[in-house]
C-alpha cells in the first residue's frame, strides 16, 4: 500500500514540477497585488464544490474534494486561469519580453551560438511566471503545490489516521512523502536542487 501511495505521489507531482522561477530577475519589478482576484477564484471554487456535495458528507471528504477541484496536474484549471487572466500581472511576460532578459537569468550559461539557441528555447518554456500575493512574490507553480501536493499530503495524512496513527505521526508521514520526492526524481535527482520552497508550498 505504501508503494502504491508513493507511486501515485511521484507520478502526480512529477507532472506538477515542470516550471521553475527566477526571483532574482523580478528583484526590482513591480507587480500589482493579485490576492483579491485569486481569493475570489478560490472562494468561487470552494462554494461550487460544496454545493455539489451531500449535506451529510464528512469534513474530511469535503476538504479532499475542495483541494482536488483545483487540480493535481500540470496546467490545472487554477494555473490556466492565472496565466490567462489579463488582470493579473505576471513576470516575466513571455509574450513581450526579449531574449536579453532571459540571458540575465540565473539559469543562463554562456556558450556557443547553437547551445545558446537551444538554451533560450528551453528557458522560455521552463521559466515560470511570478505573481504578487499580498506583497509576496510567488511562482504560479507554488500555488499548484499548495493545492495539488496539498491534496496528496492530506490523503496520506487521512490514510495514516485511519490506520490508528496519532495526529503527530500522521502529519510526519505526510511530510515525509514530500521529502522523499524532493530527494529523488522530483527534486535533487532531477535538477540537483532539494527545494525547501516546494516543500513549504506543499
pLDDT tens, position by position, 58-72: 888 888 888 888 877
Task: Dump pLDDT digits (tens) for 66-103.
Answer: 888 887 766 688 888 999 999 999 998 866 667 778 88
Q: Is residue 41 predicted with pLDDT exceeding 90? A: yes
pTM: 0.71
Q: Give residues with Cβ within 8 angstroms of 142, minimum separation 6.
A: 197, 198, 201
Under 8 Å between Cβ of 33 and 135 = yes
Amino acid at each position: 500500500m505504501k508503494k502504491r501511495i508513493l507511486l501515485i505521489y511521484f507520478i502526480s507531482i512529477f507532472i506538477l514540477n515542470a516550471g521553475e522561477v527566477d526571483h532574482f530577475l523580478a528583484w526590482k519589478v513591480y507587480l500589482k497585488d493579485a490576492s483579491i482576484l485569486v481569493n475570489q477564484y478560490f472562494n468561487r471554487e470552494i462554494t461550487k464544490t460544496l454545493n455539489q456535495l451531500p449535506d451529510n458528507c464528512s469534513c474530511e471528504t469535503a476538504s479532499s474534494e475542495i483541494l482536488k477541484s483545483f487540480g493535481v496536474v500540470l496546467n490545472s484549471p487554477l494555473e490556466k486561469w492565472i496565466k490567462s487572466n489579463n488582470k493579473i500581472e505576471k513576470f516575466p511576460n513571455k509574450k513581450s519580453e526579449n531574449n536579453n532578459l532571459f540571458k540575465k537569468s540565473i539559469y543562463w550559461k554562456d556558450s556557443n551560438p547553437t547551445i545558446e539557441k537551444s538554451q533560450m528555447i528551453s528557458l522560455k518554456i521552463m521559466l515560470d511566471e511570478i505573481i504578487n500575493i499580498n506583497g509576496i512574490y510567488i511562482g504560479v507553480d507554488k500555488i499548484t503545490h499548495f493545492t495539488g501536493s496539498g491534496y496528496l499530503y492530506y490523503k496520506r495524512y487521512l490514510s495514516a489516521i485511519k490506520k490508528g496513527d496519532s495526529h503527530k505521526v500522521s502529519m510526519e508521514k505526510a511530510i515525509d512523502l514530500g521529502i522523499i520526492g524532493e530527494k529523488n526524481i522530483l527534486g535533487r535527482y532531477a535538477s540537483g536542487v532539494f527545494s525547501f520552497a516546494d516543500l513549504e508550498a506543499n
